[in-house]
Amino acid sequence: MGLSEQQEMDLTRGQSIARGVCRCLESLGFASLTEFVPARGLRVDIMALGPKGEVWIIECKSGRSDFLSDQKWHGYLPWCDRFFWAVDRDFPQDILPSDTGLFLADPYGGELIHMPQATPLAAARRKSLTCLFARQAALRLARLRDPGAGQGL
C-alpha cells in the first residue's frame, strides 16, 4: 500500500530521506526500523539489521543546521557496528566526519556512498539489540494489523 498524494506532501525532509534509505537498505538485504530506541535516552533515526546480524545506525540530516545542532550522535556509536549519515544531494557533505558512512537519499531511494570502518559490537550487546529489534518489529506489525489492540498497556 503506497502513500496518498497528501501523505507524500506531508513527509518532512528528514522523513523523506529516511524512507529512501530504508528502501536502499532493503535492496542490500537489511531490515530497518525508524525511530528505534536502543537504550534509554537514545532514539536513532534508523536502525538496520543485516543478513549476517550486523547492526547499522543511520542518522538522517535535513540540512547544515540540523547536523550542527546534533550533539548526541557520538552516543550512538557504542550501539552499532557501523554508523552512517543520510542526506540529500543538496547537503554540504564536506562537513560530515570522514570516519562515518554516508548515504545519499530522496523519498524514492538511496545510494550507499561511503562505507565506514566496522567497529564490531560485543556479542552480548548484539544479542540484546537483535532481540529488541525483533520485538519492536513484531509489536509495530501487530499495531498495523490491529490498531486498537494493546491500548490498555
Q: What pLDDT sits at residue 106? A: 94
Over the stretch 30-79, which tens digit does the pLDDT of each residue have?
999 999 999 999 999 999 999 999 999 999 999 999 999 988 999 999 99
Q: State how far the Cα of 142 lies from the Cα of 63, in Å rounded to an integer.
A: 34
Using alpha carbons only, what angle is made at residue 76 by residues 52 and 13, rounded to the nearest 5 degrees?
95
Q: Decide if 151 is inside a domain.
A: no
Q: State how far the Cα of 58 lies from the Cα of 50, in Å rounded to an integer.
A: 13
Confidence class for position 13, pLDDT limits 50, 70, 90:
confident
47, 33 contact by CB (below 8 A): yes
Nearest Cα residue to 80 out of 58, 62, 60, 65: 58
Beta strands in 68-146 (DSSP E): 82-87, 101-106, 109-114
Q: Decide if 47 is inside a domain.
A: yes
- pTM, 2 dp: 0.88
Confidence class for position 2, pLDDT limits 50, 70, 90:
low
Q: What pLDDT sits at residue 71? A: 86
Average pLDDT over the chain reads 91
Give the domain extent around 34. 5-145
Q: State how far the Cα of 58 lies from the Cα of 22, in Å rounded to an integer.
A: 10
In the numeric block, which cell numbers belong to residue 28? 542490500
99, 116 contact by CB (below 8 A): yes
Q: Decide if 152 is inside a domain.
A: no
Q: Decide if 150 is inside a domain.
A: no
How many domains, in total, are found in the chain? 1
Q: What pLDDT sits at residue 149? A: 73
Over the stretch 135-146, which tens digit does the pLDDT of each residue have?
999 999 999 999
Confidence class for position 151, pLDDT limits 50, 70, 90:
low
